[in-house]
Amino acid sequence: MKTTNHGTPDEFTLLELARRFPDEATALAYFETLRWPDGVQCVHCGNADASRLGKRTHNAEAKVRAGLWECGACGKQFRSTIGTIFEDSHIPMNKWLIAWYLICGAKKGISAMQLKRHLWGDKGSYKSAWFMAHRIRHAMADPAFIAKLSGTVEIDETYVGGKTRIEYKDGRMTKAMDNKTPVVSLVERDGTKRSMVMERVNSANLRAAIVEHTAEDARTMTDDSRLYSRLNEVREHHPVNHSKKQYALRKNGVLISTNTVESSFALIKRSIVGAFHHVSKKHLGRYLVEADFKWNHRKISDGERMVKGLRKTGGKRLTYKPLTRK
Ligand SMILES: [Zn+2]
């Protein structure tokens, strides 16, 4: 009979997470193994000699915080949170791990209000939960210089946020889209996805984004919108004729469709309607990062996804002021 199976990170459940990391010290010890897989390293001088690194014993009365290290080489102190999204946070790491798990596990997103209730109950601070969620999204982002998308890449644009208003103009009913933000996604079939906010959706901007994010020999697929009519000048291009109710066709054994990118949009829209309600243009980019991260890691468990995210927290900072500046 197994009596001590507390799960490896990829098998984490919420219960295991709470049981294995009941306090800040245990949670930080775990985070240290992710931040420094080859052993603890001083963030000030780079010293990685274990014999010259000592962990201070957590002592609240003497104001020694959990996870505090002292470097024998430079004499300075540090914690594993320095230079990560957790730096300066007063929220203990065990709560951060729970927040990561909840966000990584919520297919359609989780609202800051819900996160607050899970972590602190009704008395918690909405502001803290909201800021936590945005720092987590910030960490999920990929660096700007990652590899270009290749193979078959489906591209489409959509409008998210706000509500579609019906306006009467010159006696005619029109759909007002001004409070919605255009989003463009590029999705490798069976691969990764990249989404972006595009201030103005036009042929030139779409073309620039496609050239920037796809390999030269990528095979692009889009709907038959005029926006893509000259895409074949820069990339192999296969439009699907949506206006003729054609959604997928096979040409020389290749499936021409934009079904993958469209189903990824459906997921974004459901999370924005369901969990995030109103998402301002200013923060939309970060919600897209979260949606892309989940899509790109959709075939693994919630725990594995959490670990993937935690490994990306280094070198990322997001402070409250610029986040809330109008
Ligand atoms: Zn040092």
Q: Give the span between the Cα atoms of 179 and 173, in whole angstroms.
A: 17
Q: Give the span between the Cα atoms of 6 and 16, in whole angstroms.
A: 6
- Comparing 282 with 18, which gets the higher pLDDT? 18
CA of 47 to the centre of ligand 1 (A): 5
* Neighbouring-strand partners of residue 159: 182
The amino acid at residue 243 is S
Q: Give the span between the Cα atoms of 35 and 46, in whole angstroms.
A: 14
Displacement of CA 227 from its chain's centroid (Å): 28
- Comparing 166 with 210, which gets the higher pLDDT? 210
Q: What is the pLDDT of residues 121-173, one digit of tens each?
A: 988 999 999 999 999 999 999 887 788 999 999 999 998 876 666 777 777 77
The amino acid at residue 104 is C
CA of 83 to the centre of ligand 1 (A): 15
Name 243's Cβ contacts closer than 8 Å, sequence gap at least 6: 224
Domains in the chain with CATH codes: 9-140+312-324 (no CATH), 152-298 (3.30.420.10)
Displacement of CA 253 from its chain's centroid (Å): 35
* Neighbouring-strand partners of residue 175: 166
Enumerate long-range contacts of 197-202, CB under 8 Å, 24 or more apart: 197/281, 197/284, 197/285, 197/288, 198/157, 201/157, 201/227, 202/227
Q: What is the pLDDT of residues 23-40, one digit of tens each?
A: 999 999 999 999 999 999
Spell out a b/e string for 112-128, using b for 16 or more CB atoms within 10 Å of the CB, else e.
beebbebbeeeeeeeeb
CA of 306 to the centre of ligand 1 (A): 30
Q: What is the pLDDT of residues 51-83, one digit of tens each?
A: 999 999 888 888 888 999 999 999 999 999 999
Q: Please report, for residues 119, 241, 285, the alpha-carbon distance to residue 224 in angstroms, rounded to integers and kept in the order given.
A: 47, 5, 26
Q: Does residue 25 contact residue 67 with C-beta atoms inside 8 Å?
A: yes
CA of 120 to the centre of ligand 1 (A): 36
- Comparing 8 with 304, which gets the higher pLDDT? 304
Report the candidate in 41, 34, 151, 44 with the shortest Cα–Cα distance to residue 85.
34
Judged by DSSP in three states, 278 sits in: coil
CA of 20 to the centre of ligand 1 (A): 30
Q: Does residue 92 contact residue 58 with C-beta atoms inside 8 Å?
A: no
Average pLDDT over residues 227-233: 95
Helix 281-296 vs helix 259-271: crossing angle, to nearest 10: 120
Average pLDDT, the chain: 89
Rg, C-alpha atoms of the chain:
23
Q: What is the pLDDT of residues 85-102, one digit of tens each?
A: 999 999 999 999 999 999
- Comparing 174 with 27, which gets the higher pLDDT? 27
pLDDT given for residue 162 in this prediction: 65
CA of 54 to the centre of ligand 1 (A): 11
pLDDT given for residue 207 in this prediction: 97
Q: If pLDDT is split at 50, 70 and 90, which confidence band does 246 have?
A: confident
pLDDT of 205 over the 60 cut: yes
Spell out a b/e string for 238-271, using b for 16 or more CB atoms within 10 Å of the CB, else e.
bbbeeeeeeeeeeeeeeebbbebbbebbebbbeb
Q: Does residue 286 contact residue 272 with C-beta atoms inside 8 Å?
A: no
pLDDT given for residue 3 in this prediction: 37
CA of 24 to the centre of ligand 1 (A): 23
Q: Give the span between the Cα atoms of 326 and 300, in whole angstroms.
A: 38
pLDDT of 243 over the 70 cut: yes
CA of 80 to the centre of ligand 1 (A): 13
Q: What is the pLDDT of residues 249-305, one digit of tens each?
A: 888 888 899 999 999 998 888 887 766 766 777 888 999 999 999 999 999 999 999
CA of 36 to the centre of ligand 1 (A): 15
Report the candidate in 323, 267, 287 with the shortest Cα–Cα distance to residue 181.
287
Q: Give the span between the Cα atoms of 48 and 41, in whole angstroms.
A: 4
